[in-house]
């Protein structure tokens, strides 16, 4: 192994604990290369033990204060999960409202079929919406489906 | 020597807590990484005041954008990348102000130190040694200095350095190799002088 090649190996292997056999053998024979390795290890040791510089103890206070100045930009205060939660809540509310509206206006299926076949509410089939009539009656505390089943003379509302 | 960071699982848990808005976890992360980041920035830019500003900007950016970090395990590298970018931006701004070309490889830390008042503040092993360290770092172009600080001073592995600086393994190894040669030139003289003085004092004692 020549010195140029050894130097390249040394410079990229200063941290290594063991070297390839060829390099080891060259280092044993070459004072210049072994001196280079020793100097580089010393340099690494000097820099590795360079003084640890302490940041100011007030640095965190300044960071915290800057973060609290702009609450909208507080990405770390979970804008992402909050947005997901907000969307989920909205979706649940919409679904709930839909179900509430849907089940309030929908009559039982069997009755719907009978109404459509004009069996129960002949007066209703004259161009009016039975579900809207039922809704309006429900507001008055009446049950139009029961009323439809009663003979007219027994219906207290007629 | 800087303390070893948290274990991977612990780090992931901490980062996820920060992403969920836990302010206490933010403080914990700050306590874990403020010193190494500050030291990296200080060694890169050479002035304590700028290092503090830049560390502050780094952590502000980190906490504001942590939700965008998809892999919490990469937090450390992401943090260092942000710190590095902050330093680069500051140096570009200062160079524009002093009308020095950013492409000029010879103009870096050392020129910056010469043009402004400087004085390294820190707890010191010896002021003289610290001065030599700063001079050696200043003698390196920024591109070499950053990989040297990460690889030799902060003891990141070559792979970790590539993740931070975004260059290939070969490029990082080559740059650390070139930086070591420069450091050897500057520090070598000091080490030789120290060795001579020690040998002289031993002879006197004997």
The string of pLDDT tens digits covering residues B42-92 is 999 988 889 999 999 999 999 999 999 999 999 999 999 999 999 999 988
**Average pLDDT of chain A, as a whole number:** 72
Whether the pLDDT of residue A113 is over 50: the answer is: yes
Instruction: Select the more confidently predicted residue: A109 or B104.
Output: A109
**pLDDT value for B122:** 44
Which chain B residues contact residue A79 at CB under 8 A?
67
Question: What pLDDT does residue A107 have?
Answer: 56
Nearest CB to B184: which of A8, A39, A74? Answer: A39
Smallest Cβ distance to A43: which of B124, B155, B183? B183
Q: Closest Cα of chain B to A94: distance in Å?
A: 26
Task: Let me know: does B56 contact A62? Beta carbons within 8 Å.
Answer: yes
| Average pLDDT value for residue range A6-17 | 78
Q: Which of B81, B111, B79, B129 is nearest to B120 (CA)?
A: B129
Judged against a pLDDT cut of 60, whether residue B123 lies above it is answered with no
Q: Reduced to 3 states, what is the DSSP secondary structure of residue A131?
A: helix
Q: What is the mean pLDDT of chain B?
A: 83
User: Which H or E element spans position B137?
Assistant: helix B127-139
- pLDDT (tens digit, 9 = 90+) per residue, B176-190? 989 998 998 888 777
pLDDT > 50? residue A34:
yes
Q: Residue range B139-154: average pLDDT?
A: 94
- Running DSSP on this structure, what letter comes out for residue A150? S
Nearest residue on chain B to A15, alpha-carbon basis: B152
- What average pLDDT does the segment B119-123 reach? 47
Residue B206 pLDDT: 65
Which chain A residue is nearest to residue B29, measuring alpha carbons? Answer: A60
CB contact under 8 A, B123 and A80: no
Tell which of B62, B64, B160, B182 to mutate to test the A interface (max A CBs under 10 Å): B64
- Reported as a pLDDT band with limits 50, 70 and 90, residue A1 is confident
Among candidate residues A66, A72, A87, A81, the one with its CA nearest the CA of residue B19? A81
Cβ of B130 and A50 within 8 Å? yes
Once rounded to an integer, what is the mean pLDDT over residues A112-117? Answer: 58
Angle, helix B158-165 to helix B75-97, in steps of 10 degrees: 50
A7, A38, A52, A80, best to mutate vs chain B, most B CBs in 10 Å: A52
Which residue on chain B is closest to A16 by alpha carbon? B157
Q: Which of B123, B124, B187 sits opposite A46 (nearest CB)?
A: B187
For residue A127, the distance in angstroms to the closest alpha carbon of chain B comes to 58
Looking at beta carbons, which residues of chain B come within 8 Å of A74? 63-64
Q: Does residue B199 carry a pLDDT above 50?
A: yes
Neighbours of B172 (CB within 10 A): 24
Three-state secondary structure call for residue A92: helix
DSSP B18-69: HHTT-HHHHHHHHHHHHHHHHHHHHHHH--HHHHHHHHHHHHHHHHHHGGG-
CB contact under 8 A, B26 and A76: yes
CA distance A42 to B195: 11
How many contacts (CB atoms, under 8 Å) link A and B? 127
Per-residue pLDDT, A126: 43
Closest Cα in chain A to B57? A63
Other beta carbons within 10 angstroms of residue B190's beta carbon come to 18
Q: Are B63 and B26 in contact (CB under 8 A)?
A: yes
């Amino acid at each position: 192994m020549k010195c140029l090649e050894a130097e390249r190996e040394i410079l990229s292997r200063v941290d290594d604990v063991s070297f390839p056999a060829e390099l080891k053998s060259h280092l044993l024979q070459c004072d210049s290369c072994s001196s280079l390795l020793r100097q580089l290890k010393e340099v690494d040791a000097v820099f590795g033990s360079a003084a640890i510089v302490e940041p100011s103890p007030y640095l965190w206070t300044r960071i915290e204060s800057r973060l609290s100045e702009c609450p909208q930009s507080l990405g770390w205060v979970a804008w992402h999960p909050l947005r997901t939660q907000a969307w989920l809540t909205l979706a649940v509310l919409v679904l709930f409202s839909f179900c509430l509206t849907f089940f309030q206006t929908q009559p039982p299926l069997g009755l719907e079929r009978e109404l459509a076949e004009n069996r129960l509410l002949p007066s209703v089939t004259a161009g009016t919406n039975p579900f809207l009539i039922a809704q309006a009656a429900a507001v008055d505390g009446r049950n139009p489906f029961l009323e439809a089943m009663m003979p007219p003379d027994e219906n207290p509302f007629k | 020597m800087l303390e070893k960071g948290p274990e991977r699982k612990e780090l992931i848990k901490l980062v996820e807590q920060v992403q969920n808005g836990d302010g206490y976890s933010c403080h914990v992360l700050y306590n874990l990484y403020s010193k190494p980041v500050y030291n990296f920035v200080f060694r890169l830019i050479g002035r304590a005041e700028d290092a503090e500003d830049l560390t502050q900007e780094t952590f502000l950016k980190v906490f504001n954008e942590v939700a965008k970090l998809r892999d919490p395990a990469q937090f450390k590298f992401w943090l260092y990348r942000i710190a590095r970018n902050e330093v680069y931006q500051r140096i570009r701004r200062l160079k524009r102000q002093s009308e020095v070309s950013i492409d000029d490889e010879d103009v870096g830390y050392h020129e910056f130190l010469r043009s402004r008042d400087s004085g390294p503040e820190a707890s010191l092993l010896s002021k003289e040694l610290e001065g030599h360290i700063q001079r050696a770092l200043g003698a390196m172009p920024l591109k070499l200095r950053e990989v040297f600080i990460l690889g030799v001073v902060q003891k990141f592995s070559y792979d970790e350095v590539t993740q931070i600086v975004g260059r290939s393994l070969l490029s990082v190894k080559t740059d650390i190799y070139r930086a070591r040669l420069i450091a050897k030139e500057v520090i070598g003289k000091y080490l030789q002088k120290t060795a001579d003085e020690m040998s002289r004092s031993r002879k006197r004692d004997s």
